[in-house]
Amino acid sequence: MTTGSGVGLKRRSDVPSSAIVASKKQKSSSGSIVVRGSASDALIPAGVRRTSNLQAPIMLLGNHEGEIYTNKFSPDGRSLASGSFDKTIFFWNVFGECENYNIFRGHKNAILDLHYATDGQSLYSCSADKTCIVWDIKANAVQRRFREHNGIVNSCHPARRGPEILATASDDTTVKVWDTRTKRSTMTIK
């Protein structure tokens, strides 16, 4: 069942507000998957010409106890990580049963952004707790915790090539560049 939620949009009433919804890309012949997090993103465009017989999301992933602010596919596309207001990162298998296979806990406030390292061995997360964490995915452990920001850390992004560096942006009006092998920033941009 759908209900009106805005101009040209229908909202699925059977989708929980804290669920992640994945659906096939509307205009792609490649069959690629698009992920949308939380209630405000669980919208279905009304009147969009369908290119497949898909009538509903192909995955409905629940279990977070708060709003989902971010989600990212692993570099190999086999798993999905989601970060939430509930301070957890859930890992999901994308194919097969789509089950939740791991949970990371370590932030003291909402998780606002996630990014995988290019090799898929590490995950970067930033939080309203003013920190950014590098997680070792195989060891299920915190590898590094960066603490120099004085405000909420809104985004993080690792370099895709070259040295292992990470950029973070914060409510303290700074962008910090980190050498991920250490716990110190190498540059602050104001």
Q: Could you report the per-residue pLDDT of 17-38, keeping only the tens digit for each? A: 555 555 544 443 445 555 555 5
- What distance in Å separates the CA atoms of residue 40 and residue 17, rounded to the nearest whole number? 8
What pLDDT score was predicted for residue 3?
A: 40
- What distance in Å separates the CA atoms of residue 134 and residue 182, rounded to the nearest whole number? 11
User: pLDDT higher for 144 or 40?
Assistant: 144
What pLDDT score was predicted for residue 95?
A: 86
- What distance in Å separates the CA atoms of residue 6 and residue 15, rounded to the nearest whole number? 17
- What distance in Å separates the CA atoms of residue 19 and residue 42, rounded to the nearest whole number? 8
- Quickly name the fold that domain 64-190 has: Methylamine Dehydrogenase; Chain H (2.130.10)
Q: Which H or E run includes 40?
A: helix 38-41
User: Helix and strand tally (H, E) in the chain?
Assistant: 1, 18
Nearest alpha-carbon partner for 36 in 46, 22, 19, 48: 22
Contact 132, 176 (CB under 8 A): no
Tell me the whole-structure pTM to 2 decimals.
0.72
Asked whether residue 44 carries a pLDDT value surpassing 50, the answer given is no
Percent share of the chain, pLDDT over 90: 60
Q: What mean pLDDT comes out for the span 174-184? A: 93
When computed from its CA atoms, the radius of gyration of the chain, rounded to whole angstroms, is: 18
* Numbered ranges of CATH 2.130.10.10 in the chain: 64-190
Confidence class of residue 15 from pLDDT cuts 50, 70 and 90? low
